[in-house]
Each structure stands twice: as structure tokens, then as C-alpha cells.
Structure 1
Amino acid sequence: MISFWEKDVFLKKYDVIIVGAGFSGLWLAYFLKKNKPEMTVCILESGVLPTGASSKNAGFSCFGSPTELLENISVMGIEQAMYWAEKRFKGISMISQHFGSEIELNACGGTELFSDKTIFDETQNQMAYLNKELKFITGNDTHFFTENKIIKNCGFNGFDFAITNTVEGSIHSGKLLKVLMENLHAMKVQIFNGVEVQSFDFDKDNVNVFASKGLIFQAKHLSITTNAFAKSLLPEIDLFPGRGQVLITEPIEGLNWEGTFHFDKGFYYFRNYKNRVLFGGGRNLNFAEENTAEFGLTDLVQNALEKLLYEKIIPTHKSVKIEHRWSGIMAFDTSKTPVSKCIHSQLSMSVRMNGMGVALAPTLSENLANEIVEFAL
């Protein structure tokens, strides 16, 4: 039962209610308050900690490997592929600009590793084309370049070729969430954890938001930023969930490399975190099972990750133990296109990040905040 005091302070009518306290929701609240400090904003989050991928990812600020970009071009065309590449590039820059010193941001670059010479040759043959298109985004004539020594220097096994870029990097995802939350508290944004939004409706002046435990919130505008879980509130949205499984080793003495690495068209990814190898992926081993909104680990994926870890990534450290394992839920669609927009004056969404939410959330949230202020409030 809600008291008068609780209703008067916490269940007042807000200008904007945001559903979801992941990167998209937090960045949206941040830019709404930057845009209009007097605005009242609250965030409703179903979990004690953010649910989804934001706090459960591998901590990559992904721009896109060459094979990923070529795949995007084949699906959506060059113009759209470069449009979204620019959004990711700007997002990575915005993270650095706003919070880089507080989140262990490491502009270490990203490398795609190849075992198959045919695939490498096909990709290398497209590098001049990719670099020409990307120069207008990165300002670099050679955004992608072949890296001949990195495999041997890092002690990897079973990889023969590498293509590197200097834009990608790594972050501490938990620290980015924490610093965003701390800033929002200072901006007087109210964050409610453990509040699951079940439905909403509209009347002339209000959005009525019905949540667990009989709570009812009101706002002028509602924004859904729950990514893979958006279908429960927006059933018409075209997306499907994808589970990413991740593991991290115990510290490894003498682990002398850094950087972010991808292979198998981005389906596997790893990095060094404080002399631990953080390694994730394997969703492509069984799409039917991994296209799920259920958290969990499977023997198929975990066994594959371990095998690749010990055979290819740390072949000289096979006695190293796995310290921790977890999973996160991403959102995808066949067009590989995020959606972030006002649906009408009382409702907006920012979802379907296609595995690139770290880099996309700042730019999409800033644009959506401007749209909400200009057209909806």
C-alpha cells in the first residue's frame, strides 16, 4: 500500500518516464537533463541491476570489424552501412569525451583474426574500398591495415592473418553504468529498481504506466529502452533476442598483450582485462537455442569457448582456470538496423542495437532526447 508521502514525492507526474536502466535509458535521461535541466525524469528498471546486455557484455566499444562492415553493406547497402558506422564512431568519441577517465577506457584498437586464407584474401581485397568510404568518418586513409606481427607477438595459435583498426577499444561496462547513474542522481533523475512495467495507456494529457506491486506512474511522455525485452510492451516491433555467453579467466602471469580481438565474422571476441582473458561468443553454434531472452549457459557454447581459449588464445597457459561465467541478452533484426525514434508525441523507443549498443547508445540517445524535447514536450 502506497502512503500519501510516497505518492506525493515518488509517484508524481513526470515529464518523461524511461523504461530500462541500461545504456540507452541512462544516456537518454542524461541528454534530456542536459537539454532541459528543469525537466522531471524517472527511470523504471525491472532488475536490482540493469537487465539485458549493458552490464553483462564483454566491455567492447565496437566500431565494426572489416567482415562485419562488409556483411552490413551486403544487407543494407553502402549508404546505410556508413550511416550506422558514423553513429558508432561518434558514440565511441562521446564516451571518451564525457567519461573516458572514469571507466577504464582503453583506446587499444581492434583486430580481426583469420584462419582461412580465402576469407582473408577476399576481405583484404575489399580493404581499399572500405578505407575510402570510412575516411569521411574517421579521417584516416588507412582505417583498416594488415597486421603481420601481432599474432606471433601475442602468442596466438591457429590464426595466420590479421586486420587491425585503431578506433575500437575497451571499457569497464560496470563503471560506465555507475558513473552515468551517479551523474543522473546529481541531476535529480529518480531511478526505481525492481519495478517491472506491465502495461501502459494514454489519455489526453497523460501516459499511465502500470507496474508491478500495483504501482501506477504518470508522465507526459514514455520512452521504451529495454532493447531485447521491448516486445513485451511493444509487440509490433520487429526484433529477436540473442544470448551472448562470456567467460573470464583467473589472472595469467606474463599475459603481455592488449587490444580487442574478433574472429569468425565477429561471432567470437576476446580481450585482456587486468591479465585475465575475457572471451565470449559462440551464438552461431546454435542460433535456434541462442536466440532466446532467457539468461543461462549451455555446454555446447561453454565447451567451445574453452576449447578455442586453450588451443588458440592461450595455448601456453592451459592450466589457467576459468574464474567466472555469465550471459547477456542482445536484440537483433534481419536488417541489422537499430530503431530510435518518437512513435508519437507521448511515446518513443530506442531498441534493437544489434550487438553494438555500447557505441550506439550515446548518439542515438542524444538524437532522441532532442526529438522528445522538440516535438513531444
Structure 2
Amino acid sequence: MCAMNAPLSPDFVNGEVSFWYRSIGVPEPGDPLGGDREADVAIVGAGYTGLWTAYYLKKADPSLRVVVLEKEFAGFGASGRNGGWLTAALAGSPGRYARTHGRDAARRFQHAMFESVDEVIRVAGEEGVDADIVKGGLLTVARGPAQAARLREELASQREWGWGEDDVRPLSRDELDGRLRVTGALGATWTPHCARVQPAKLARGLAAAVRRLGVEVHERTPVVRIAPGRAITPYGTVRASHVLRCTEGFTATLPGHHRDWLPMNSSMIVTEPLPEDVWTALGWHGRELLGDMAHYYMYAQRTADDRIAFGGRGRPYLYGSRVDDRGHTHAWTVGALWELLTSFFPAVADARVAHAWSGVLGVPRDWCSAVHLDPGTGLGWAGGYTGHGVTAANLAGRTLRDLVLRRDTETSRLPWTGRRVRAWEPEPLRWLGVHSMYRLYRLADARESRGMRRTSALARIADMITGH
């Protein structure tokens, strides 16, 4: 695909963490660790996973000494850059969890994710976190016959796994138009189990909440090594009975974890605020989240200040699992996202792009997230959310809480607990596999856009390459 040049606003910004932080101000990082510390729990990473884990541990036992160590500032990574989808979607598929734990366990996992959407909303309200949350649900649209066929298959699968009419329902083209007018859409599904959120506001509010509970959060403190009972930094060592790795897309930068999870890039653009006549043409009054059934899929939201934030994979992977942590986005990606955005919504064509940014998410080899705690060493971790971390991190935080406190609960017994998968292949196989997969997905989408009635064989080949 040859992307067009996107029209840029005069104050266009590329990178600099994200638009979400630009809108509220990039925080000044707090004090680094000032020497050795003794703690009960040391948490590496102050993204959603680390912050939720600290929050629930201190709420369960206020006497616990909890220390969080963060290289940049709380919410610097994917937690402050994502698409703002508080979604109940599982990483991977329920069938993969069912293979190891049975169908009932997989269903319990899904319902735990449903409940976690509301749990995040509850805590945000209780802690006074204003994160622009609107629980308008999720619209998944099908543009073209092949996508429509996959949407029907997906709905049938959801019904098989116990999703009733209250959990997901199909929408005709007319019903979709009553909510949001998407050019080329043949139909859609809608689920209530999704809410819009301003991710940086959520991260900042959660960080403030854990500090109020007495958690030590040390920013500008990179952890150079994790070992049983120790988190080692240039400024001192935190000694703790439990050391929890909550680094998600940055996990590959830690010694000994280079091939655990693939750091997958995802990119976003956001428009200038759109005038009322554009919203009259589009609808979108319910502030639903929006996704599609393409292989090279997109995700979007209508922001609180009436912009469209629109994301997709762009250039998905850097050789050697490198991480571009400042969020700069290639011009090709900006153009590709603009081209796709205006194909969905031609009425937006006269607007301009105000900001572009990228972030990394963690992808395990089997595309399924996991939580683990070794009771012998006290080492634990959670992540591999494959893009569903806004909600999954909350559930992971409660799972780690129960494991650390040795509680035998439904949460601690969810089928992601203790899940282990093989490492990703060494380079150059890793780079070749990921780029081949996404190249095939782009070609498959292009073929299907010409009216194919079933999924392109190229997409099935891509699935086989990486086990997606």
C-alpha cells in the first residue's frame, strides 16, 4: 500500500510520548530511589499492571511495604499511549485457555474480564480519577463480504462460549447508521463490555491513588537486574520477599528476557477537534469504541474534546526487539492511518492531523496473556496482553495480589495463572516472521476489499507463520 501524505496541523507533534499527555501535560518524573531499601514487595514498572498490583496489595494489607520502580515516569509506556479501550476482549482465544484448563475455566476467565471493565470504572469513581470514561460499548464493523463472513463466524463463536444477547448482538446496516455512519460497512456487532477512557488521565490518577495509600513510587530509576529477593538499580537495591516484573512491552530490554515477549509497535493519530457539521454527518453520539474485522485492524474513539483518535499497527516491529520509547512515528504510518481514517469517514477529509505517536505492547509466542508467581523464589510477573491491557492489567493486579498473599480464590485460579509458553525465535527469524505476517495481512485486506466473499488464503498463511 502506498500511503498518501496526511494533512498536518500547524502545531503538529510527532512522538513526545502521546497526545494523551500533551493534552494534560507531560509530568515531571519524581525522585529516583535514594539508596537501598527493604520492602515486602518490589514492583518493576509503573504502568497499569504495576500500579494496579500496588493498589490492591495496599488495600488488602495496609501494613505491606510496597516499592514501585520506574525507569521514566508512571504511565510512560503503553499505559499512557494506548487507544483508550477499556475492553473485555481476551488476549488470544478462549479455546487456547480451554485446552489447558477446560471450557468452564475459559468461560470464567471471560466473565472475569467483563467484570473487570466495571471494576476499573468503580475504582476510578471511588478514587476521584476523572479519566473521561464513557461506557458506550464497542462497535465492530464489517466492510466488505469477507469481513462480514468473519463477523458472523465471530458472533457464532461468542454464542458458543456463552455470550448472550446482553453481551453481544448483531446490528444491521441501518441499525449501525443510527449509531455511527461508517462508509462501506455492511453490518456490525455491539457489545456493552467496553468503555472509552483517556489513558494518561487513568494512569496519572492511579499513580496518585497508590501514593496516597503509602506506596513508594520511585521514577527515573531503571532496574538493571531482577533476582530472587532483589531488584537492582544504579541508585540502590530494593530487597523484598516478592519481586514482580510488570514491564509488558519493555520486557525485552531486561537481561534474560529478550525473547520472552515480542515488543509490537502500535501507532495512532488524532485529528484536530471536528466541527459540529462533521459530527452531524457521522453520528457517534454514544461515544462507542470502534473496531473492524480487517486483518490489519484499526481501533478508534471519539475523544472528550471531539476529535477522532485512530490507530493501527503501522510498522509493527523493530529488528532485535528494539524499543523506540519516545513514540516517534514514521511518515508512512501517519499517511496510512490518515488514508484509512478518511476511507471510514470521508466527512473528515478537510480536517488535519494534530499528533501522531507510537507505543509497544507485549506479545507472547502463543498470543495469550499470563500471570505467574514462583513461591520458592518470590519472583512473579504479568503481561503479554497483546493490546487488551487497559482492562487485563486490572485483573492481573488482583491476580498477583492473591498470589502474593497466598489466597486461594477464583481470581488466583484463572487459566492464565502459571501459564508458560516458549520463547520467540532468534533473529533474523523473528523479524522475518513478523514482517511477513503483516505483509500478508495487508495483501489479504487489499484482495478482500475488491469484493472477495471469504477470507483470503494469504491471511491463513500469515496465521500459520506466527500462530496468531
Task: Please indicate, yes or no, whether the TM-score normalized by the shorter chain is above 0.5.
Answer: yes
Distance 1:187 1:155, change over 3 A: same
Q: What is the aligned partner in structure 2 of residue 335 from structure 1?
A: 366
> How far does residue 46 in structure 1 lie from its aligned partner after superposition?
0.2
> How far does residue 130 in structure 1 lie from its aligned partner after superposition?
1.6
Q: What is the aligned partner in structure 2 of residue 145 from structure 1?
A: 170
Distance 1:287 1:182, change over 3 A: closer
Q: What is the aligned-residue RMSD (CA, Å)?
A: 2.9
Structure 2 Cα separation of the partners of residues 39 and 73 of structure 1: 35
Q: What is the aligned partner in structure 2 of residue 239 from structure 1?
A: 261
Matches within 5 A, 1:242-257: 242-254=264-276, 255=279, 256-257=283-284
Instruction: Name which of 135, 142, 161 aligns with 2:187.
Output: 161
1:316 partnered with 2:347? yes
Aligned AA (1:97) = R
Q: What is the aligned partner in structure 2 of residue 281 from structure 1?
A: 312
Q: What is the aligned partner in structure 1 of residue 462 from structure 2?
A: none
Instruction: Name which of 233, 241, 261 aligns with 2:290.
Output: 261
Distance 1:208 1:218, change over 3 A: same
SS in 2 for 1:61: strand
Instruction: Name which of 307, 314, 338 aligns with 2:339.
Output: 307
Q: What is the aligned partner in structure 1 of residue 330 from structure 2?
A: 298
CA contact (8 A) 2:41 2:67 kept: yes
Matches within 5 A, 1:107-118: 107-118=135-146
> How far does residue 143 in structure 1 lie from its aligned partner after superposition?
1.9
Instruction: Name which of 391, 403, 413 aligns with 1:371.
Output: 403
Distance 1:356 1:279, change over 3 A: same
Structure 1 Cα separation of the partners of residues 241 and 48 of structure 2: 22
Q: What is the aligned partner in structure 2 of residue 220 from structure 1?
A: 241
Structure 2 Cα separation of the partners of residues 190 and 298 of structure 1: 37
SS in 1 for 2:221: coil
Q: What is the aligned partner in structure 2 of residue 94 from structure 1?
A: 119
CA contact (8 A) 1:243 1:290 kept: no
Aligned AA (2:370) = V
Q: What is the aligned partner in structure 2 of residue 353 from structure 1?
A: 385
SS in 1 for 2:351: coil
CA offset digits 1:17-62 (Å, max 9, x no partner): 1000000000000111011110111100001343321111111112
CA contact (8 A) 1:53 1:330 kept: yes
Aligned residues: 356
CA contact (8 A) 2:139 2:189 kept: yes
CA offset digits 1:202-223 (Å, max 9, x no partner): 4xxxx232213x4222222211
SS in 2 for 1:363: helix
Report the more deviating stretch, 320-329 or 256-265: 256-265
Matches within 5 A, 1:191-230: 191-202=217-228, 207-212=229-234, 214-230=235-251
CA offset digits 1:233-271 (Å, max 9, x no partner): 452763111011011111001224121110125721011
Structure 1 Cα separation of the partners of residues 256 and 116 of structure 2: 26
CA contact (8 A) 1:243 1:291 kept: no
Structure 2 Cα separation of the partners of residues 7 and 82 of structure 1: 43
Q: What is the aligned partner in structure 1 of residue 40 from structure 2?
A: 15
Q: What is the aligned partner in structure 1 of residue 60 from structure 2?
A: 35
Structure 2 Cα separation of the partners of residues 219 and 369 of structure 1: 15
Q: What is the aligned partner in structure 2 of residue 121 from structure 1?
A: 149
CA contact (8 A) 2:262 2:321 kept: yes
User: Which structure dedicates a bigger proportion of its chain to strand?
Assistant: 1
Distance 1:337 1:300, change over 3 A: same
Report the more deviating stretch, 353-362 or 44-53: 44-53
Distance 1:170 1:147, change over 3 A: farther
CA contact (8 A) 1:24 1:365 kept: yes
CA contact (8 A) 2:151 2:188 kept: no
Distance 1:51 1:18, change over 3 A: same
> How far does residue 330 in structure 1 lie from its aligned partner after superposition?
0.2
> How far does residue 10 in structure 1 lie from its aligned partner after superposition?
6.4
> How far does residue 121 in structure 1 lie from its aligned partner after superposition?
2.8
CA offset digits 1:175-212 (Å, max 9, x no partner): 2112211211111101000000001334xxxx232213
Aligned AA (1:149) = D
Q: Which ranges in structure 1 are unaligned for 5 or more consecutive residues?
A: 1-5
Structure 2 Cα separation of the partners of residues 14 and 359 of structure 1: 28
